């Protein structure tokens, strides 16, 4: 389902995937600083098809996400800052979209459960945000108006990821992916 990036070779694959997706969409590149976890999303054939970057979140740090939208002012985030993460570089290669979006979300939920993350703050691309809300019924809140950022409009949102992994049975698409979910070893 997913593999945590552990070496330079895997980091290069991770960067290649998200950068290809960003180029396709016309987004500007932005490389992260600080504590991050990089996840390579695998398809049913164990092929790398997507990425997710999960960053530690800090109320005091005036990082890029807080400069775009003031998540740090929201009471939920202030209350659970130690259990909040920033979601970035959620991407699936064009030829693998559709059938692998549930894998990407399931991987995020599994990772979040392992790390005891309650909330993810994110700047979501519009179509991705709609898919999460309408198709996947993600427990999330849109917390602001769309904002133009790095080449497209983004929607500031809080994903209630703990609700997703605690209520797996309520998400039939999640349950199809979750049984036997394991980290893939190289």
- The torsion of the CA quartet 103, 108, 114, 120, rounded to 10 degrees, works out to -160
Domain ranges of the chain: 2-177
Q: What is the pTM of this model?
A: 0.89
pLDDT in tens, the chain (186 residues): 899 999 999 999 999 999 999 888 878 778 777 668 999 999 989 999 999 999 988 777 666 788 899 999 999 999 999 999 999 999 999 999 877 998 999 999 999 999 999 999 999 999 999 999 999 999 999 999 999 998 889 999 999 999 999 998 888 777 666 655 444 444
Tokens for 40? 């390579």
Distant-in-sequence, close-in-space partners of 54: CB < 8 Å, separation ≥ 6: 36, 37, 39, 85, 86, 87, 88, 108, 111, 112, 115, 117, 120
Q: Which two tokens stand for residue 53?
A: 């970057």
Question: Under CATH, which number does the domain 2-177 receive?
Answer: 3.40.630.30
């Amino acid at each position: 389902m997913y593999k945590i990036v552990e070496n330079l070779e895997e980091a290069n694959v991770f960067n290649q995937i998200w950068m290809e997706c960003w180029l396709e969409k016309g987004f500007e590149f932005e490389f992260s600083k600080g504590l991050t976890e990089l996840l390579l999303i695998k398809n049913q054939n164990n092929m790398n098809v997507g990425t997710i970057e999960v960053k530690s979140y800090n109320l005091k740090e005036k990082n890029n996400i807080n400069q775009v939208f003031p998540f740090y002012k929201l009471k939920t985030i202030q209350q659970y800052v130690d259990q909040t993460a920033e979601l970035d570089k959620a991407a699936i290669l064009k030829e693998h979209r559709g059938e692998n979006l549930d894998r990407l979300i399931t991987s995020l939920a599994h990772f979040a459960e392992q790390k005891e993350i309650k909330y993810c703050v994110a700047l979501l691309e519009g179509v991705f945000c709609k898919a999460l809300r309408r198709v996947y019924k993600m427990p999330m809140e849109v917390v602001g108006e769309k904002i133009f950022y790095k080449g497209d409009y983004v929607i500031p949102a809080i994903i209630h990821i703990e609700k997703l992994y605690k209520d797996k049975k309520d998400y039939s698409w999640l349950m199809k992916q979750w049984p036997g979910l394991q980290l893939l070893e190289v």
